[in-house]
Amino acid sequence: MTDTMKSLKIPYIPELEKAGFAEMDRIMETNAAKAYIDTVDWPDEYPYMPDASFSIARSDTHIIIMYRVRGIDLRAKAMEDNGHVWEDSCCEFFVADPEDGTYYNFEMNCIGTLLAAKRKSREDSAFLPEEKRAQIIRHTSLEKKEYDISGEIFCWQSAICIPFSIIGIDGRNLPAKIRANFYKCADGSAHPHFVSWNPVRTPAPDFHRPEFFGELEF
């Protein structure tokens, strides 16, 4: 593999998770780390790349990610958590547990429907129970309703605030770094795409590959 592993240093912003969506956006605009989800990993089959970026920061208790997307099509069919959100206009955060070799995937569509699981692999997994999903704070710029619009340009934002405790981290004793990746997809849209922050070098689309995660530094 010739790619250099991407790395991002995560700033500390106290009590950021308590801010409302607009205030969170304003604070993160000048204080968070920013990066683009801009690696088209399978260009021959899936060449389309929407404009997708994220801002990321942490508080004492949470890791906070805000996504910004501009692209063609808007799809949101999954209304219930742990549904097929990856088929919708969706942003995803995968992060390795620093202790036990597993990883977590947090996949949220553009209206805030969340799939969250702890995994050893794509097949060997367990959804997070409702009481843990309820601890995850979500914001979106779109109304919570179904969308299925093709061929038009849309801009939307979403944010997710994940407690460190859910991903096996002690916020009072953070590791120096963790492994993670960020994705933008919409498998069921008129322009399906599979785009990542850190490159994924597999023959076919597969985001469940921790060996291709980048690094987040605390």
Amino acid identity at 62: H
Q: Where are the domains of the chain?
A: 7-217
Residue 37: CA count within 13 A, CB half-sphere: 31
Tokens of 70: 């501009």
Whether this prediction's pTM lies above 0.85 is answered by: yes
* Distance separating alpha carbons of residues 207 and 163, to the nearest angstrom: 22
Beta pairing, strands 214-217 & 7-9 = parallel
Report the candidate in 92, 94, 89, 86 with the shortest Cα–Cα distance to residue 125: 94
Report the candidate in 141, 144, 142, 139 with the shortest Cα–Cα distance to residue 162: 139
Secondary structure element (H or E) that encloses residue 56, with its range? strand 51-58
Q: What is the 3-state secondary structure (H, E, C) of 147-186?
A: EEEEEEEEEEEEEEEEEHHHHCCCCCCCCCEEEEEEEEEC
Cα 158 to Cα 54, 155, 175, 180, distances in angstroms: 9, 11, 27, 19
**Residue keyed to tokens 């070098």:** 201
pLDDT by residue, tens only, the chain of 218 residues:
446 799 999 999 999 999 999 999 999 999 999 999 999 999 999 999 999 999 999 999 999 999 999 999 999 999 999 999 999 999 999 999 988 989 999 999 999 999 999 999 989 999 999 999 999 999 999 999 999 999 999 999 999 999 999 999 999 999 999 999 999 999 999 999 999 999 999 999 999 999 999 999 99
* Distance separating alpha carbons of residues 62 and 12, to the nearest angstrom: 10
Residue 1 has what pLDDT?
45
Q: Name, in order, each residue with C-beta under 8 angstroms of 4's C-beta and a sequence gap of 6 or more.
A: none
* Distance separating alpha carbons of residues 189 and 195, to the nearest angstrom: 14
The class of domain 7-217 in CATH terms is mainly beta
CA 217 to mean position of chain CA atoms:
17
142 DSSP 8-state letter: S
Residue 4 has what pLDDT?
75
